Structure 1
Amino acid sequence: MARSTYYYWINAFGREDKYTEIKSLIKEIFHTHKGRYRYRRITLELRNRGARINHKTVLRLMNELGLKSLVRFKQELEEYIHYYNHQRIKVKLKHTKISSADQGIGPHYYFLYSRNEE
């Protein structure tokens, strides 16, 4: 072990944590909002209370305290059909009925077309 590392740890062991006040504020904000606030909203609340702190520091302190938000992201549903390579179907024959159905098999879609002539 290097001499500088040894003395660094000896000196660091005696120091008090400079984030003790911030940690208590983070716990207070987290529990008053029933675990619904994530690190970004907690950062904004801390800034409203007059503390200057970065959001990455708040995230690190929350991880050290074991605070995790209960809110989960909702997965958005897609309401449109994916056209591969952004290709659309161009109809060259006029006065014909074209019906289509897209079948999803695994990760691929197969487009089935039938042309009905009258």
Structure 2
Amino acid sequence: MFQSQNLLQTFDRITDYWSPKVIGRVNDQLLKVAKLKGQLIWHAHDDEDELFYVVKGHMRIELKQQVIDLHEGDFFTVPRGVQHNPIAEEECWILLIEPASTKHTGNEITPQTRSLDEQLA
């Protein structure tokens, strides 16, 4: 049986910042929701693009050459191989769309890094 989901209600599952949860799949792309506050880490995804869509709040994505400011309703795709550092001064809710093969923090490992299994839980 098919069933719809309410995007805003999916954020009820999020208890930790920087800990995305998979809420759906479109072909080989995963849809993930996350709450952000503070900063993650400079990292890149060598083989995958990563789309950030701001559902609530404000964030910025630092790139080596510029800073992308995102407000509610804005989205930005970080191209594969581009170093980036997501930052949210206050709590921000985002939807991520990225291939299932995307590692949370690329090749960088930190205490905030989440495995795909953790994101599926």
TM-score bucket (shorter structure): under 0.3
TM-score normalised by length of structure 1: 0.20
Indicate the structure with greater strand content. 2
Q: Which has the higher contact order (CA 8 A, sep 6+)?
A: 2
TM-score normalised by length of structure 2: 0.19
